[in-house]
Amino acid sequence: MILNMLKLPVYLDHNATTPCDPRVVEAMLPFFSLQYGNAASRNHSFGWQAEEAVNQAREQIASLIGAHPKEIIFTSGATESANLALRGAFETYLSKGNHIITTTIEHKSVLDTCRHLETVGGKLTILPVNTKGLVDPDEVEAAITPETILVAIQFANNETGTIQPVKQIGEIAKKHGVLFFSDATQATGKIPVNVISADIDLMSFSAHKIYGPKGSGALYVRRKNPRVKLKAQILGGGHENNLRSGTLNVPGIVGFGTACALAAIEMDIIATTTSCLRDRLENAFIATNHATVNGSRTSRLPHVTNISFTGIEAEALIMGINKNIAVSSGAACTSATIEPSHVLKALGLNDQQAFSSIRFGLGKNTTDEEIDYTIKLVSETVNNLRSIAHSAITA
Ligand SMILES: *Cc1c(COP(=O)(O)O)cnc(C)c1O
């Protein structure tokens, strides 16, 4: 008989990062110490081997998103990819216009970059979302002006998992001759993502969110209908079609490629199993813990749920469980103060509701036992915190 032993702590923060799949690590290992060549070295077998491995990874990554390998630009991660896409497009198309449309719920890598562009001559429209966290494609269309060069809207949200109507948004952007950039860091490898069917022109994504290594990401840059031009942000040997100079991170790229190849095969089954576990966790909290789910429950990623526990401070709840369960509150620490999540605020939550929210991010290795344990420990801790609050009031 196989005993499924519960190993603590339980990791439920897979939207922050994922463990490297052992098959990814295995694929990467030779490229540290045996095949350590520089992929740009043209004169010997070390370089050729590295280049061949990079080419294979480029094909694996392109294939996962329906792109051509030449449309994949390697970067250090999705943050750098978003910077290259937004700043690179802004500088290239400034003669055409300076207007960018984005949303209130973007990841900071997109929002902060857009805000920077505002300080160097850009004009920004930041569209709201509805209470389910969804952007209205009609509002995107209404915001387009003759000055608009780019629409920057994420594929799926990192805090709530809400999936945007990217297909409709892509269609609108195309119709108006405006570029469509999408941050697909959370969606790629978890649900089908196809740059052709969604009319995406630029797309950022990252290896470490899909069981690959940290420090390895990509930007998809469309080469046909239209051919997207970008101004490079990092100059030096002209690597990556002159868009991103610097010696390629060959082990990281090989790991990224392997992670994409595995995701292509296993994504559907993982989505089914994790969404079952996620629904069980969520329903248990809704049934017993005065909990509400933030974001859309229909248009969302399979492995994440963001829950508000009424009357509870998420930081106190996390302090009560974080020895044994790793989760995240949406709140971000900016210097000394804790700010409520800008995403939850955009959904219409007040500060108190936003501060009572916790994100549970499941992964492909999450087990039944881990979910049982999480339901039990979180429920106990919530009840304890409520009775403390109650006795403080009645004392
Ligand atoms: C993690 C994440 C990023 C940043 O990715 P890095 O590779 O860590 O720079 C950007 N956007 C979203 C939606 C993310 O979840």
For residue 181, the CA-to-ligand 1 centroid distance in Å is 14
Question: Which residue has a Cα nearest atom 15 of ligand 1?
Answer: 158
Mean pLDDT in residue range 341-365? 96
Q: What is the rounded average pLDDT for all residues in the chain?
A: 95
For residue 184, the CA-to-ligand 1 centroid distance in Å is 9
Mean pLDDT in residue range 309-323? 94
**Catalytic positions, please?**
333
Ligand 1 pocket mutation pick from 75, 84, 107, 341 by most atoms within 8 angstroms of CB: 107
Ligand 1 atom nearest to 16, measured from its CA = 1
In the prediction, which pLDDT does 333 show?
Answer: 58
pLDDT in tens, 202-223: 999 999 999 999 999 999 999 9
In the prediction, which pLDDT does 2 show?
Answer: 53
Q: How far apart are CA 70 and CA 62, in angstroms?
A: 8
Mean pLDDT in residue range 65-82? 98
For residue 219, the CA-to-ligand 1 centroid distance in Å is 12
Q: How wide is the angle at C-alpha 394 spanned by C-alphas 392 and 395, nearest 5°? A: 65
Does residue 156 have its Cβ closer than 6 Å to ligand 1?
no
Strand partners, 221: 202
Prediction pTM value: 0.96
Lowest-confidence segment of 80-84, 327-331, 367-371 by average pLDDT: 327-331
Specify burial of residue 21 (Cβ count, 10 A radius: 0-12, 13-18, 19+).
buried
pLDDT in tens, 23-49: 999 999 999 999 999 999 999 999 999
* One-letter identity of residue 245: S
Ligand 1 atom nearest to 76, measured from its CA = 7
Does the pLDDT at position 334 exceed 60?
no
Share of the chain above pLDDT 90, in %: 93
In the prediction, which pLDDT does 3 show?
Answer: 55
Does residue 58 have its Cβ closer than 6 Å to ligand 1?
no
Q: How far apart are CA 50 and CA 349, in angstroms?
A: 50
Q: How far apart are CA 272 and CA 1, in angstroms?
A: 26
Contact yes or no for 360/374 (Cβ under 8 A): yes
For residue 214, the CA-to-ligand 1 centroid distance in Å is 10
In the prediction, which pLDDT does 391 show?
Answer: 78
